[in-house]
């Protein structure tokens, strides 16, 4: 079969049309199969408009916070049932990455805004606590405009790792107070360092998982910034990795160029970083040499998935970029 999108010949249902896709309602592979709930989100464009739905996190009470680059409401807050509970933020034109951190009982959000060239730390009500500025003294940047952060990962001690995914592809390591401690990665090692996550699946050896999206790979780095391993995932233009239990989940923006090809899907890795399910794509297959056969969209479930959020029951919430302003859908594990 040629590496191209195959549209499944199921009928167009009103449920699918609401979410902007047509597909069989159950997708995925092995023990990770999901029923599509396109009616999960109760938001409406009149009161809570979105341009691109970028990233989502839970707070400790189970509310879902999501970034959108629509400055009428940069942050939308949902209940687990999809009702809009709150909306705030009008000053984040490039609102992109969103990370949650419980700081000794104080719940914090880290918003990566690539148009402001900053990461902004806020409380859950949107009050600004601190900004993390471009690493002017690092020798890697000539001007603030070169720094276009897309994601953050927060270490247990409060250190902040920022992925400059739309800028120069460095990972900038700040301390809790915003002082630069290290800069690593860069264009020789990373191509579109769109996402970064703290991987504590081995609690004795925590590492950073960094997206190298244009290379269809994840790369493992030590906390000190040394490259450890490349996980090749052909056919997967990865957004950010999300570590949940022993698995890594991520949205695949596209499976083939161009960037607006509407060929995305969702992907799940096991504890050995092998693909075990690819909802919306073909069955993952490995060759005798251990390499993964290229993945590609086989069912038109999504256009451009941009982030995933996994709840305690194993359901996945999927936000999309460049998808006609659609709200997130929920994939309910079956």
Q: What does DSSP say about strands 237-238 and 305-310: parallel, antiparallel, or unpaired? A: unpaired
Residue of 148, 189, 195 whose CA lies nearest to 168: 148
Residue ranges covered by each domain of the chain? 14-333
Burial class (CB in 10 A: 0-12, 13-18, 19+), 179: exposed
pTM: 0.93
Q: List per-residue pLDDT tens for the chain, 334 residues long.
A: 344 444 443 323 333 433 444 444 799 999 999 999 999 999 999 999 999 999 999 999 999 999 999 999 999 999 999 999 999 999 999 999 999 999 999 999 999 999 999 999 999 999 999 999 999 999 999 999 999 999 999 999 999 999 999 999 999 999 999 999 999 999 999 999 999 999 999 999 999 999 999 999 999 999 999 999 999 999 999 999 999 999 999 999 999 999 999 999 999 999 999 999 999 999 999 999 999 999 999 999 999 999 999 999 999 999 999 999 999 999 999 9
The pLDDT value given to residue 4: 46
Q: What is the DSSP letter of 11?
A: P
* CATH no., domain 14-333: 2.120.10.30
Rounded Cα–Cα distance for residues 112 and 92 (Å): 9
Taking a C-beta distance cutoff of 8 angstroms, is the pair 67, 55 a contact?
Answer: yes
The pLDDT value given to residue 25: 77
**E strands present in 140-285:** 151-154, 160-163, 170-174, 180-185, 196-199, 207-212, 217-221, 227-232, 237-238, 242-244, 247-254, 265-269, 275-277
Query: Which residue in the block uniquely carries the two structure tokens 């990373």?
Result: 190
Cα atoms in the Cβ-side hemisphere of radius 13 Å centred on 159: 17
Q: What is the largest CA-CA distance in the chain?
A: 58
User: In residues, how long is the chain?
Assistant: 334
């Amino acid at each position: 079969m040629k590496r191209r999108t195959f549209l499944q010949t199921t009928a167009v249902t009103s449920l699918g049309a609401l979410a902007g896709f047509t597909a069989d309602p159950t997708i995925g592979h092995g023990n990770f199969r999901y029923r599509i709930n396109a009616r999960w989100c109760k938001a409406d464009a009149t009161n809570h408009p979105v341009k691109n739905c970028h990233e989502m996190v839970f707070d400790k009470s189970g509310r879902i916070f999501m970034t959108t680059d629509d400055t009428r409401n940069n942050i939308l807050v949902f209940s687990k049932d999809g009702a809009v509970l709150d909306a705030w933020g009008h000053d984040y034109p490039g609102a992109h990455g969103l990370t949650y951190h419980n700081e000794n009982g104080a719940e914090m959000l880290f918003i990566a805004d690539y148009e402001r060239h900053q990461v902004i730390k806020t409380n859950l009500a949107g009050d600004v606590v601190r900004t993390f500025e471009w690493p002017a003294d690092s020798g890697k940047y000539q001007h603030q405009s070169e720094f276009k952060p897309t994601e953050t990962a927060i270490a247990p001690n409060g250190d902040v790792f920022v992925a400059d995914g739309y800028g120069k592809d460095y990972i900038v390591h700040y301390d809790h107070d915003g002082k630069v401690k290290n800069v690593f990665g860069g264009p020789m090692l990373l191509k579109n360092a769109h996402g970064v996550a703290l991987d504590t699946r081995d609690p004795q050896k925590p590492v950073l998982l960094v997206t190298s999206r244009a290379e269809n790979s994840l790369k493992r780095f030590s906390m000190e910034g040394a490259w450890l391993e490349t996980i090749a995932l052909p056919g997967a233009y990865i957004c950010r990795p999300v570590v949940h239990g022993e698995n890594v989940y991520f949205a695949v923006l596209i499976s083939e160029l161009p960037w607006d090809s509407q060929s995305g899907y969702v992907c799940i890795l096991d504890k050995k970083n092998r693909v075990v399910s690819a909802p919306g794509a073909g069955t993952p297959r490995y060759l005798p040499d251990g390499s993964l056969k290229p993945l590609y969209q086989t069912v038109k479930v999504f256009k451009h998935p941009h982030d995933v959020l996994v709840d305690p029951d194993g359901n996945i919430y999927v936000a999309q970029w460049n998808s006609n302003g659609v709200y997130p859908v929920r994939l309910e594990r079956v």
